[in-house]
Amino acid sequence: MGFFQAKWKYIFFRACILFVISALFAILAAIIALPAYIVLPVFTLFLIAGALFIIRPYLRADKLIKLYLEGYSLLSEEDGVYLAISPATDMLFAQLQEIASPTKLFSLNKRQAQYLALQNQINPHFLYNTLESIRSEAMLAGLDDVASMTEALATFFRYSITKVESLVSVEEELQNCETYFSIQQYRFGERLKLEIVVSPEDREDIFRCRLPKLTMQPILENCIIHGTELKIGTGHLSIHLERTEKRLLIRISDDGIGMDEEALHRLNDKLGKGISLAMQEQETKGGLALVNVDNRIRLLFGDEYGLHVFSIPGSGTDVEITLPAITSDREVKNTEVLQ
Amino acid sequence: MRREVLRMERVSLLERGVIQLHGFTLNIFEGEVVGLLPVNNHGLTALLQLLQHNTPLRSGYIYYKEKPINTWRSSKQRQNRIGLIQSESSLVEGLSVADNIFVLRPGAKAWLIRSSTQYKQLMPFLEQVGIYISADTYVSELSPFEKVVVDVLKSVMAGCKLIVLREIRTSVGDEDLRKIHSLLRYYTDQGISFLYIDSHYEELRRICCRVALMSNGGIIKTLKSNAAILEPFDMISKPTLFGGELALSGDAMRSTSPERNAHFVHSKKNDIAGQASRAHDERGVFEAKNVTGSFVYNVSFTAAPGKCVVLQGESDQMLNELLQIFSGQPASGELLLCGKKASLKSNRDIAIIQELPTHTMLFNELSYMDNLCFSLDHRLPEIWRSMQLREGIRREYASTLGADVFDSRVDKLSEVQKYRLVYTRVVLQKPKVAFVVKPFRRTDVELRVHIWALLKMLLDKNISVVILTINLADCVSLADNLIRLRGSPAANV
């Protein structure tokens, strides 16, 4: 049976109930000989009521379920109201909330983030390149540089591994990005440049804002590995921060090789698709770091925040992170995931 | 702290089963002019509709002044206070400027309309922007530039914090466009934001601080206006014409990149003097001598075979009058075809490709073949009786137009296929001279490249092409001779 046939079957079923009630009323009206000026308005009322209370809720619930199947989360109270077209659907929604609990999903993501951090530690290329840089610096310049490199590495690991689920200030996150960048710079030298752009008058406000730990660094890493590493010549990275009344906007850009429209759509679809589906897909396909960051943001703050990628081949990639402008952990929408 | 006037967050929109917008993400800050460059027009009309009327979304969120106005969960479908100004004015021609601004604005509640009060209210606004238009002038009497100004004022008075401008370049000249840009800058200082839609990157760079590239219903990249980027345009302007890769000349390929186009135009202008003198040496197929009408004065030019003349007018009235004269309406002056005075009315040696030809020159109720052979009867009188002739044409052009298009309904063809049909019809007509009115109007980047190549095809067939336009972008790279028409005697550049 085709999709439309199935859909209309259910609408037809509900319309039939309405028709039976209307027919009963018509029979009753005929028996007691009600005048037309009463029968017609009552019939019209039946029709309007049918449209408002039977067909419209059904279509709305139908739309929400379809969106859920596409990967959107249906966890708000508002969604519950729309889905409650019968006691059974109400119970189904309650069970769904239990299964797809943000706390459970967040702990899954947390484990992934820890795994990512661990992977970074044991990534042989990352370690070898860094150690090679330390060695060459030690040979050429003396112990001062070795000390600073080692310190940077230690600072980075310390920040990355502990309390991945907690929120940090933008300032702390930027410091971690700079530490990570300084480590990468020992490898790339002058081939890599980082610029952090913040409006001077908003600087303090922005730096006080809170965001999930390891939000910017994995994206910066992505920019280096997939964007500028393959580029001939100097790679320019920039972190642009802006604050509006309600939002914190972070744009991490590179001028690397970029990607074609098809790859861009695939990546953005994965980011916008929702938690459960994206988690299924990331097992097999790339973009783990971006999906992980996007998932954590959406679980903490809601579907209206997250990541979006812009890119064209040869002109670099921009990753835009949209977050709520909050300065305290208590303002987080879903606080239980932080515990 | 900056304020966001508009934020569209991963917006997807489905219309009649077709995805019009896909993950569309764009934000506009207060007092900012953001450019929108449609690589292809897919989803552009739906976007404008969505901005104004809040049509239901498939997914995503839209915020206006940081408040959600439309989300995938619920859509109230209320009208937004977002102004939309297009090349065709939305003003009511039969009403005065003041009536259009005050009476027709959304939210006007006055029962009694006092003209004197309206004029008093309007004057300070006009004085602020330094443009003087009489409040009681009928809109039909205004120039295209004045109409744009009144449209902007109307949106401002209606309390719109965001105004969308679409392709206004096509209806006003360069000088007026500069004035409009000053007007926009004045209002950005007042905190009003603009979304400026145009298919020319160079044009957008002149006024916008950021330019968003839109392709297949999504924003693929946002560029800073000072970004010296060439590659994306090379990428998006890969021309595939007539089923295969189009063999454009080196010059043509250069001109497809707007950044390079500027350079190319510059060098082309330098060559114009030399080319113009060469053109004078050749005997022209079409000559206009001292043609004068109500809006044009003393226009003289010669169109030689395989050469392109661009006539830049100041207004649509000027172009319409010229077109009427060239299509046979008498005027003072002399029009010569192949050195002789000839009747230009219904003359098959003259072809006219009108503005928006896919809307004005195709007959949806006729078949593709009938549309193609429409003006061929003077060359092949048997064309409508002989099936063999039509089959021959089909076989000949199947390789270039595509074999499947002949069996398609005309209204189901893509925009590129429709343009090919119109221009190929002209090639079949084999005129001596083709007048083309605003060929690049309402076109996206991809379509521009195709039209450019189709015009080049006419020139390669030794047809003389006369382009009538207001804005010179794109046309200059084709021009062998450029004539700027003014109310005073024409100045040949």
User: A58-84 b/e with 16+ CB inside 10 Å = b?
Assistant: bebbeebeebbeebbbbbeeebbebbb
Under the banding of pLDDT at 50, 70 and 90, the label for residue A63 is: confident
DSSP SS3 for A59: helix
Q: Which of A47-51, A127-131, B420-424, B479-483 has the lowest mean pLDDT?
A: A127-131
A246 touches chain B (CB under 8 A): yes
Residue among A201, A192, A169, A206 at smallest CA distance from A238: A192
Taking a C-beta distance cutoff of 8 angstroms, is the pair A149, A137 a contact? yes
The tens digit of pLDDT for each residue in B6-64 reads 999 999 998 888 899 999 999 999 999 999 999 888 899 999 999 988 888 988 999 99
DSSP SS3 for B370: helix
pLDDT of residue B442: 79
Residue with tokens 């970029």: A258
pLDDT of residue A183: 86
Distance of CA B44 to the CA centre of its chain: 14
B217: nearest CA in chain A? A265
Taking a C-beta distance cutoff of 8 angstroms, is the pair A279, A108 a contact? yes
Most confident of A85-89, B218-222, B372-376: B218-222
pLDDT of residue B441: 83
Q: Is the pLDDT of residue A96 over 80?
A: no
Q: What CATH architecture does domain A103-338 belong to?
A: 2-Layer Sandwich (3.30)
Q: Which chain B residues are within 8 Å of A82, Cβ to Cβ?
A: 73
Asked if A249's CB is within 8 angstroms of B3's CB, the reply is: no
B30: nearest CA in chain A? A244
pLDDT of residue B6: 94
Residues B387-415, mean pLDDT to the nearest whole number: 87
The tens digit of pLDDT for each residue in A109-125 reads 766 666 566 555 555 55
Q: Is the pLDDT of residue A318 over 90?
A: yes
Please list the alpha-helical segments (H only) found in chain A: 3-31, 36-50, 56-70, 77-83, 87-99, 102-122, 124-140, 143-161, 170-188, 203-208, 217-222, 261-272, 275-282, 288-301
A266: nearest CA in chain B? B23
A267: nearest CA in chain B? B23
A256: number of Cβ within 10 Å? 23
C-alpha pair distances (Å), B115 with each of A241, B100, B101, B118, B154: 50, 12, 12, 5, 16
Q: Is the pLDDT of residue A169 over 80?
A: yes
Residue A13 burial by Cβ neighbours in a 10 Å radius (0-12, 13-18, 19+): exposed
Q: Is the pLDDT of residue A291 over 80?
A: yes
Q: Quote the pTM value.
A: 0.72
Q: Is the pLDDT of residue B88 over 90?
A: no
A265: number of Cβ within 10 Å? 18
Q: What's the CA gap between B146 and B125, in Å, rounded?
A: 14
C-alpha pair distances (Å), B162 with each of A106, A253, B177: 38, 27, 19
The tens digit of pLDDT for each residue in B148-169 reads 999 998 898 888 999 999 988 8
B220 touches chain A (CB under 8 A): yes
Residue type, A79: D
pLDDT of residue B246: 34
Residues B170-185, mean pLDDT to the nearest whole number: 86
Q: Is the pLDDT of residue B270 over 70?
A: no
B positions 16-55 inside 8 Å of A (CB): 22-23, 25, 27, 29
pLDDT of residue B493: 40
Q: What's the CA gap between B331 and B423, in Å, rounded?
A: 28
pLDDT of residue A240: 95
- What string of H, E and C letters represents the secondary structure of A279-294? HHHHCCCCCHHHHHHH
Asked if A249's CB is within 8 angstroms of B27's CB, the reply is: yes
Distance from CA of B212 to the nearest CA of A (A): 10
How confident is the prediction for chain A on average, in pLDDT?
Answer: 78
Domains of chain B: 4-81+161-229 (3.40.50.300), 240-349+431-492 (3.40.50.300), 364-425 (no CATH)
Taking a C-beta distance cutoff of 8 angstroms, is the pair B380, B436 a contact? no
Q: Which of A246-255, B96-105, B406-415 has the lowest mean pLDDT?
A: B96-105
In chain B, the percentage of residues whose pLDDT exceeds 70 is 86
A positions 18-77 inside 8 Å of B (CB): 67, 70, 72
Residues A248-271, mean pLDDT to the nearest whole number: 90
Q: What's the CA gap between B120 and B463, in Å, rounded?
A: 56
Measured over all CA atoms, what is the biggest interatomic distance in chain A, rounded to whole angstroms? 108
Residue boundaries of the structural domains of chain A: 3-100, 103-338
Q: What's the CA gap between A209 and B3, in Å, rounded?
A: 17
How confident is the prediction for chain B on average, in pLDDT?
Answer: 81
DSSP SS3 for A258: coil
The tens digit of pLDDT for each residue in B321-351 reads 888 888 777 678 888 888 888 777 778 888 9
Residue among A239, A233, A222 at smallest CA distance from A184: A222
pLDDT of residue B230: 46
C-alpha pair distances (Å), A63 with each of B8, B57, B74, B171: 21, 11, 11, 43
pLDDT of residue B25: 94
pLDDT of residue B275: 45
Q: Is the pLDDT of residue B124 over 70?
A: yes
pLDDT of residue B296: 83
Q: Dihedral (C-alpha) B341, B346, B350, B352: value to the nearest 10 degrees?
A: 140
Residues B90-113, mean pLDDT to the nearest whole number: 79
Q: Which chain B residues are within 8 Å of A256, Cβ to Cβ?
A: none
Q: Which of A22-31, A152-161, A164-173 has the lowest mean pLDDT?
A: A152-161
A242 touches chain B (CB under 8 A): yes
pLDDT of residue A13: 66
Taking a C-beta distance cutoff of 8 angstroms, is the pair B302, B280 a contact? yes
Distance from CA of B258 to the nearest CA of A (A): 16
Measured in degrees and rounded to the nearest 5, phi and psi for residue B487 equal -60, -30
pLDDT of residue A209: 93
pLDDT of residue B274: 41
**DSSP codes joined into one string, B273-336:** HHHHHHHHHSPPSEEEEEEE-SS--SEEEEE-TT-EEEEE-SSHHHHHHHHHHHTT---EEEEE
How many CB pairs (< 8 A) connect A and B? 81
pLDDT of residue B188: 93
Residues A284-307, mean pLDDT to the nearest whole number: 80
Q: What's the CA gap between A323 and A297, in Å, rounded?
A: 7
Q: Is the pLDDT of residue A47 over 90?
A: no
pLDDT of residue A186: 81
In this complex, the residue of A261, A304, A306 whose CB is nearest that of residue B216 is A261
Evaluate the CA torsion angle B172, B177, B179, B182 in order and state its sign: positive
Dig out the tokens for B340 from the structure: 């002789």
Residues A54-68, mean pLDDT to the nearest whole number: 78
pLDDT of residue A12: 64
Q: Is the pLDDT of residue B233 over 80?
A: no
Residues A164-190, mean pLDDT to the nearest whole number: 86
Residue among B57, B48, B59 at smallest CA distance from B82: B48
Q: Which of A302-306, B24-28, B191-195, B266-270 has the lowest mean pLDDT?
A: B266-270
Residues A151-161, mean pLDDT to the nearest whole number: 73
Dig out the tokens for B67 from the structure: 């408040």
The tens digit of pLDDT for each residue in A297-312 reads 888 888 889 999 999 8
Most confident of A247-251, B286-290, B293-297, B385-389: A247-251
In this complex, the residue of B66, B72, B222 whose CB is nearest that of residue A310 is B222
Looking at per-residue pLDDT, the higher value among B113 and B145 belongs to: B145
Q: Is the pLDDT of residue B491 over 60?
A: no
Please report the ipTM that was assigned to this predicted complex.
0.71
Dig out the tokens for B6 from the structure: 């508009």
Dig out the tokens for A329 from the structure: 């952990």
Under the banding of pLDDT at 50, 70 and 90, the label for residue A43 is: confident
Asked if A244's CB is within 8 angstroms of B66's CB, the reply is: yes
Residue among B295, B296, B276, B293 at smallest CA distance from B284: B276
Residues A240-258, mean pLDDT to the nearest whole number: 92
Residues B399-428, mean pLDDT to the nearest whole number: 89
pLDDT of residue A339: 60
Most confident of A127-136, A145-154, B91-100: B91-100
Residue B348 burial by Cβ neighbours in a 10 Å radius (0-12, 13-18, 19+): middle
Q: Is the pLDDT of residue B240 over 70?
A: no
